[in-house]
Amino acid sequence: MLTVKAYGATSTGPLVPLTVERRDVGPQDVLIEIKYAGICHSDIHKVKGEWGPCPYPLTVGHEIAGVVAEVGSEVTKFKVGDHVGVGCMVNSCGECDRCREGLEQYCENGNVGTYGSVDRDGTITQGGYSTHIVVVESFVLRIPDALPLDQAAPLLCAGITMYSPLRRFDTGPGKKVAIVGLGGLGHMGVKLAAAMGAEVSVISQSLKKQEEGLRLGAKHYYASSDPETFKEVRGQFDLIVNTVSAHIELDQYLGLLAFDGAFVDVGLPAEPLDFRLFSLLRNRRTMTGSSIGGIAETQEMLDFCGEHGIGSDIEVIPADYINEAYERVIASDVRYRFVIDTATL
Ligand code: NAP
Ligand code: ZN
């Protein structure tokens, strides 16, 4: 057992320095020295108990980038020194239909989340705001050399969560895609959809970040606070991906979809959202959700980002800034992902 430094929650209050235990490296395990860990809004929902009871003490973090420090005797894909990442899952049953299809995130027996899940040995998994993690090699991703590790960390959740629905709905030239909310997920959505060749729009609360949104790859930028927006672009989009971490008026957004258009929700606010079914019937619209992405698709996304030089726009912070960073994320004051330098833990 390895005891390592971490930062975690012991209550809904501020995160504090603590330690977590990592299991001994088994034959199929990889020991990763974590260099950077992104702060996802999901971490905040979780430690604040917004999704239900949180198993304190809990170290969160599922945007992990680091270097292989040790490999088990049966590991074939990785060697010491490789640049690797871990996202939101660290295991799944591997046998159900979903796992066989490479959709481990929808494992019929429930995947093992990187934090707050019951692991195979009965312990509660502890996430990436820590110096080391031990993960079975099949859930370890290869980070292309072209990508700096700090900018790559957020790809492991924010990147794949946007890449997967964009691919599922054939994003490419001729498609009009709107990304709602320009935060961690949203800014990756803009970069990825633009790299895939779509015409990208951002719908943000205000026009404050318009210039940056256009620089990230958007062609159009709209403010949801301006009622004119919902008239101006009514019936226009083939795909809308909603990343908002809070309540939105769904009917307004569904009205922006073209015939056969799809609204994909990835945002997970604490409270339920409702909408009128008429909003779907008109224009034969689809409404669906999407959860991260499978392991093979996550690797595909990382390779795509390597080829296109796509990293996350980040603010690297020391561990003692985590609580302030949380406040700034909640206030939508993030450009566009906080990434913890784990050397400061
Ligand atoms: P984030 O960085 O905080 O971005 C969320 C954005 O939503 C904000 O930047 C803001 O954009 C907008 N927003 C915030 N409050 C709002 C409000 N009251 N009204 C309208 N817009 C508001 O969060 P994130 O890390 O990208 O995560 C976004 C959501 O996705 C979270 O709920 C998270 O739990 C969830 N998530 C889901 C998955 C999945 O697999 N489905 C994976 C990761 C995260 P503007 O400033 O541009 O308005
Ligand atoms: Zn996340």
Q: What is the pLDDT of residues 37-51, one digit of tens each?
A: 999 999 999 999 999
CA 267 to centroid of ligand 1, rounded, Å: 6
Whole-number Å distance between alpha carbons of 137 and 192: 27
Q: Kindly report the pTM of this predicted structure.
A: 0.98
Residue of 185, 265, 337 with the most ligand 1 atoms within 8 Å of its CB, for mutation = 185
Provide residues with CB under 6 Å of ligand 1. Answer: 40-42, 45, 157-158, 161, 181-186, 204-205, 243-246, 248, 266-269, 290-292, 329, 332, 334
Q: Tens digits of per-residue pLDDT, 77-130?
A: 999 999 999 999 999 999 999 999 999 999 999 999 999 999 999 999 999 999
pLDDT score of 143: 98
Percent of the chain with pLDDT over 70: 100
Percent of the chain with pLDDT over 90: 100
pLDDT band, residue 345 (cuts 50/70/90): very high
For the chain, which residues make up each domain, given as ranges? Answer: 2-157+293-344, 159-289
pLDDT band, residue 273 (cuts 50/70/90): very high
How many helices (H) and strands (E) the chain has is answered by 11, 17
Closest residue to atom 36 of ligand 1, CA basis = 267
Whole-number Å distance between alpha carbons of 169 and 297: 14
Closest residue to atom 31 of ligand 1, CA basis = 245
- Whole-number Cα distances in Å, 95 to 5, 26, 243: 34, 21, 31
Q: Which fold has domain 2-157+293-344?
A: Quinone Oxidoreductase; Chain A, domain 1 (3.90.180)
pLDDT band, residue 193 (cuts 50/70/90): very high
pLDDT score of 1: 92
Closest approach atom of ligand 1 to CA 105: 40
pLDDT score of 276: 97
Q: Residue range 321-345: average pLDDT?
A: 97
DSSP strands (E only) in 158-234: 176-180, 199-204, 220-223
pLDDT band, residue 164 (cuts 50/70/90): very high
Mean pLDDT of the chain: 98
Whole-number Å distance between alpha carbons of 199 and 215: 14
Residue of 47, 208, 241, 332 with the most ligand 1 atoms within 8 Å of its CB, for mutation = 332
Contact predicate 253/275, CB 8 Å:
no
Task: Decide which of 3.40.50.720, 3.40.50.1980, 1.10.10.10, 1.20.1440.230 is the CATH code for 159-289.
Answer: 3.40.50.720
DSSP strands (E only) in 254-327: 257-265, 286-289, 314-317
CA 266 to centroid of ligand 1, rounded, Å: 9
